[in-house]
Amino acid sequence: MPDTDDHQLYQRAVAVMPGGSTRSTLFVAPHPPYAVSGKGAEITDVNGHVVIDCNNNYTSLIHGHADPEILQIVSEVAAEGTAFGLPTRYEVEMAETLRARTDGIEQWRFCNSGTEAVMMLIRAARAYTGRDVIVRFAGSYHGTYDAVVSPQAQGVPAAVSETIVEVPQGDIDAVEQALIHHRGRVAAVLIDLMPNRAGLVPARVDDVARLADLTREHGALLAVDEVITFRLEHGGLHTRYGLNPDLISLGKVIGGGFAVGAIGGRAEILSSFSPLSDGAVAWGGTFSANPVTMAAGLAALRRFSPSAVRELNDRGEALRTRLRDNGVDANGSGSLIRLIDDNPRALWWKLYEAGVLTGTNGLLALSTAMTDEHLDAIGDAVITVRNQMSD
């Protein structure tokens, strides 16, 4: 007999998974609801509660749930085989699409998540430069790889701290000092131009320009993590800054709702992975660039045209303006909004009860499936809940 509510499912979950959870980012005490289905901009949970999905699997579902066009393409491709021990034309088309879309980032490799993309990016930087040290900003989230979490995190070897320099968020002076102190040892500086975990505040244009100059001066690579922010411009957020990154990591929206990751960069840098060269970096992945993911991603990106990107960003700006005009502290840009609150758990539950699913840290990610009615309802719910919590 199927479970009738989330409490029953959670009791089963805690018996077979630590804390009943596989994804730390989804857990909200006492335990999260369980999804049953999604269609367009809405999700129905196991209790029959319907919510507008402003989480969109942490920004990845740019066209919402069960998009008919993507499902049709996936069905056709999957019927021919879901994965092979051979490459397919779909990965070639995806690499060509990303090169054109990013104004010429030359070459690409694919994997299965944003975390894996950052891992591969760091390997590429170290292999190309022959250097070990990575400089990154405290508070930015780049996945769960040892090199990009806090050195104090449990399970991270002490030796990792010898090759990672963590500087305060947005502190370019500290980056310069790190490059001087570790002169000739820094492989790359890793930056998210609008880090969600650090409050979704866009980097300053002048800071980014200075950072680019510093990396060139010291022979380090400039690596931009766009796993989340790629949706904000047709070619990625870095194009808004006029930036030409040496390496870039992608994920989420480029998979069309399926597991995906990618890195792009100059051909000379990614040549470290070429099987045609001596001593090539070996990096596999059983399901990397599988035809289902690549075909779904291509369909999603075709639909997310320059005009579609602008329209969704405009709708996000309008919603953020409405929230701010009504006293809600909201950061972000375009289709990404971050609600700033001292009690994110209480905010999450009250919004969920009011029919809006956000990220557990107050993140809202819009999708093209949202109607004006959805956006009005989201604004109404956030304003009402915040007023209730401030009384």
| Set 58, 90, 141, 352: catalytic member | 141
Separation between Cα atoms, residue 152 and residue 24, nearest integer Å: 18
- Known catalytic residue: 39? no
23 exposed, middle or buried (CB, 10 Å; 0-12, 13-18, 19+)?
exposed
- Known catalytic residue: 252? yes
Contact 39, 52 (CB under 8 A): no
| Set 67, 192, 225, 341: catalytic member | 225
Tell me the catalytic residues: 141, 225, 252
